[in-house]
Amino acid sequence: MSYKIYLYDTDTDSIGTGTLSSAYIQTQLEAAAGQDVDLHISSAGGSAFDAIAIYDLLKKYPGNVTTYIDALAASAASIVAMAGENIIMSKYALLMIHKPMVI
């Protein structure tokens, strides 16, 4: 059975804050302890820098990582979605990629 992590936006959190931060994902990957990981994404994005850090954590993780685009992986969330060895997208989901800008 795979360890499940949900990267879902909330009213107060987007990528880079709260349960969508690279620090939180790092603690979740440590808890997974090498098990295969299913990362479910439904996010409009957030911090490009945090998304890159999450991507890097997932690529270095020793277990298999499958990313699921459940509803939306937009902007910074599209970076995270590409970290999966397997990327599975609902036929009703949206992947939105754009030229990144950091201020």
In a domain? residue 28: yes
In a domain? residue 64: yes
The helix (H) or strand (E) run that includes residue 80 is helix 76-81
In a domain? residue 102: no
Helix runs in 5-72, H state only = 22-32, 48-60
Q: What is the pLDDT of residues 45-96, one digit of tens each?
A: 999 999 999 999 999 999 999 999 999 999 999 999 999 999 999 999 999 9
In a domain? residue 101: no
In a domain? residue 26: yes
Bridge partners (DSSP) listed for residue 39: 5, 67
Global confidence as pTM: 0.94
Range of the domain at 15: 3-96
For residue 81, give the CATH number of its domain. 3.90.226.10
Cα–chain center distance at 99: 18
Total structural domains in the chain?
Answer: 1
In a domain? residue 103: no
97 pLDDT band, cuts 50/70/90, is: very high
